[in-house]
Structure 1
Amino acid sequence: MTQNPFDALGGGGGFDMNALLQQAQQMQEQLQNAQAQLADTTVDGTVAGGAVTATVNGVGELVGIEIKAGGFDGSDVDDLADLGDMIVAAYRDAKAKADALAGEVMGPLAGGGGLPGLGG
């Protein structure tokens, strides 16, 4: 049996498996480059007028916390609880910015259009 099973997909030899594989490889490389770019990019989230700043990379990993001097003395339980809440809020702000950035960078690669000729 010498008939190519993919002939039926292309309607008379129009389906080029090598071209499809090459395109998939290019998309994978673009995806890896975008992920590397995001990992190297940082964004900040702040609360309380900059009292607390959280820094995350483009993939959402927390890479730093900055607490403005003089805002918290650490001896008051309520003050420390407020600080904890502000750290969480600053992280959420930074994470939302990182997610938006990832959407911009990855959007065209993560489902935007599919592969030509496959009805995606």
Structure 2
Amino acid sequence: MKARLPQGMGGGPQNMQAMLKQAQKMQEDMAALTEELEAKNYEVTVGGGAVKAVINGKKEIVALDIKPEVVDAEDVEMLQDLIISAVNEAIRKAETDSETEMNKITGGMKMPF
């Protein structure tokens, strides 16, 4: 007894070629999007504007601006916390943007990057 494939499944070599072309197109789109995302900058300000961090899509810090009034030798920990908070938030922003844009291409399918 032969197993039957559901309607639209199988199709032989033509279907396989179409799937391969679709996968290649998706890979090309993902490569182009990755390049575009890496060129973007993500800016975050914390502490009421006291610290601003800017990272690129490669998650490299591009700029870090600190208002002079938050530099207090007696409270270095607060400044450290503000910097960490700004950088981490910028990274989350870049990752969320990347995931959202990649999902548009992959349809939510998890892909290794």
TM bin, normalised by shorter chain, reads 0.7 to 0.9
Tell whether 2:90 aligns with 1:99: no
Structure 2 counterpart SS, 1:107: helix
User: Counterpart of 1:51?
Assistant: 50
Does residue 109 of structure 1 match 2:108?
A: no
Q: Which runs of 5+ in 2 are unaligned?
A: 1-8
What SS does structure 2 have at the residue aligned with 1:50?
A: coil
Q: Give the Cα separation in 2 of the matches to 1:65 and 1:110.
A: 34
User: Could you tell me which residue of structure 2 aligns to residue 69 of structure 1?
Assistant: 68
What's the CA shift for 1:10? Answer: 1.6
Q: Is the Cα–Cα contact under 8 Å of residues 60 and 98 in structure 1 kept in the other structure?
A: yes
Corresponding position of 1:36: 35
Q: How does 1:3-42 map to 2 (within 5 A)?
A: 10-11=10-11, 13=12, 15-42=14-41
Larger radius of gyration: 1
Deviations 1:79-99 (A, max 9, x none): 221111110011122122212
The number of aligned residues is 102
State how far apart, in whole Å, the 1-side matches of 2:109 and 2:77 are: 47
After superposition, give the CA deviation of every residue in 1:39-60 in whole Å (9 maximum; x if it has no partner): 0011111111111111122343
Q: Gapped runs of 5+ residues in structure 1?
A: 1-8, 115-120
CA RMSD of aligned residues (A): 2.3
Deviation at 1:70, TM superposition (A): 3.1
Write the deviation string for residues 65-84 of structure 1: whole angstroms up to 9, x where unpaired: 111233214x33xx221111
Q: d(CA) in 1 for partners of 2:101 and 2:67? A: 32
List, as ranges, runs of 4+ consecutive aligned residues in structure 1 with deviation greater than 4 Å.
none
Letter in 2 for 1:17: M
Counting helix residues as a fraction of each chain, which structure ranks higher? 2
Identity of aligned residues (%): 37
Q: Normalising by structure 2, what TM-score?
A: 0.74
